[in-house]
Chains A and B, each alone.
Chain A
Amino acid sequence: MIEFKNVYFAYDEKLILKNISFKVNASEALVIMGPSGSGKSTILRLILGLECPQKGDIIIEDKNICRMKESQKQNIRKKIGMVFQDGALFDSLSIWENVGYYLLEHTNMSVEEIGQKAIKMLGFVGLDAQEIMDKLPEQLSGGMQRRVAIGRALLSTNPKVMLYDEPTTGLDPQSAENVLGLIKKLHHEISIATIVVTHQIADAVALADRFIVIVEGEVVFDGNLEELSRCNQPKVKGFLAPFRKSFFKVAQKKFIEI
């Protein structure tokens, strides 16, 4: 579904990603972890074709997005839902217009119909639609904005891939739980390929069974939870060290569940 083949990427002259290779199948969930500034968001931007790698190929649905024309890229993007790290809601549009953005732009549905769908979607992401639908994004709390952003990404014509950039960062535990539940529900119910970037090890374990750890632009680990807990590579250990305890607690809990 999505494949990175020896991708190198640099901003100006600064090399950000070095020789990144991995593959995500349709209906697979993958978590990307790594320290701040290691290049996680950049990977998502590359998948969307917002940037192009200097070297290497990115294959999406058997097509190389790096070699596409802008118009072809747009067709691919319509199949990808993306939740940006900061939400990136359109601040001059109301909440329901944000949620219904894709339908407003790409379909001939009537405004009423789209409004109905937006209300339903807001309920789906756990928000009180009647209360907030006519407000502007700035009038919502950060956590609510994040959920609106997720709703916006979902309310397109059947995304085949969902990309989440740190969906729970800065949320209170309850909202974080809701958002995680939502991501999981989507992944299982509609079975779309899901890539989640996160710092939270607990979230990571809750969401996926495959993990990639990126440190300084290099993939230092790619495997499942058991492999991760046994991984002896210094860089991986270094990254995991701060949450060693909680990590094992979560890991154990997970194994007991299984």
Chain B
Amino acid sequence: MFNNISYLRKELTIFKAINKWLKNFAYELQNMFFFSLRMLGAMFSRPFYFSETKEQLYLIGVGSLYLIVLTGIFAGQGFALAFSVELALFGAKDYLGRIMVLAIIRELGPVLTSLMIAARVAAGITAELGAMKSSNQIDAMVAFGIDPIKKLAVPRLISLIIMVPALTIICDIIALFGGYIISVFIAHVSSTMYWSSVREKLIFGNIFIGLLKPAVFSFVIAFIACYKGFTSAGGTKGVGRATTDSVVLTSITILMVNFFITRVVFALLKGYLL
């Protein structure tokens, strides 16, 4: 009988813990939502910090370029290599270009680019803002009558909105060239064959998805990274935790959002994707 009660109590604590966790989660989600709204609002109101935005454009765009180039080269070639072997079995090597376009432009380009930027830039943003927070610099900024969301978050948001799609395009192009190298030198598909098959699939629908995704992901990265930075607490350790959270959360969210965009856009754009 006593066993029963302690069992019940244990169950209750577990239930309480889950309840608490859920409450925290809902609370955090709600805060993040309102924070995102504030960021969006701040984007369209004065003052604008041009020099900060320029600096961020450079840091995020040019700074990530080497990473994206490497990603494009190796992802494109690896993918082409794997598929050329498989397609050769069916005597369908000539279709390599089409598959490359579908895989790279619709899925791999946007997702890989955004994940790379999430790893590099989101971590950087969260760590920087978190360190500023923990050394009172953000409070000092507020004390000077400056809105830190406008001054710190908006330039990063704008830079990401511009740079994630731009870097995705670069990644796409480089990956397609990687595919070209594989198909010509290893799979022995002629150059004209490869490019004409690529062109067949370079249609509005695919390009549209390929650009919509990085645009959406740039918001995901900016919202989560800035939110985690501004709300980090607990000193150096807290900044470390916030940075880890930020990378994990942006990466997972990007993958989930990617799935939903593919799903929804497929339903809506059926006719344009053939």
Contacts and interface: CB of A to CB of B under 8 A. Distances in A.
- A: contact size bracket: 20 to 34
A91 B137 contact: yes
A75 B145 contact: yes
Given A86-B136, A90-B137, A91-B135, A50 B144 contact: no
A82 interface: yes
B268 interface: no
A108 to B, nearest CB: 12
B140 A82 contact: yes
Nearest to A80: B143
21 contacts: A48-B143, A50-B139, A74-B145, A75-B145, A77-B142, A77-B143, A78-B144, A80-B143, A84-B140, A85-B136, A86-B136, A88-B137, A88-B139, A90-B141, A91-B135, A102-B144, A105-B144, A105-B145, A105-B146, A106-B145, A156-B144
Given A74-B147, A82-B143, A156-B144, 7 more contacts: A45-B139, A50-B143, A74-B146, A77-B144, A82-B140, A89-B137, A91-B135
Contacts of A84: 136, 139-140
Interface residues of B, number: 12
Contacts of B142: 48, 50, 77
A13 interface: no
Interface of A: 45, 48, 50, 70, 74-75, 77-78, 80, 82, 84-86, 88-91, 101-102, 105-106, 156
Interface string B239-260: 0000000000000000000000
Contacts of A91: 135, 137
Nearest to B139: A50
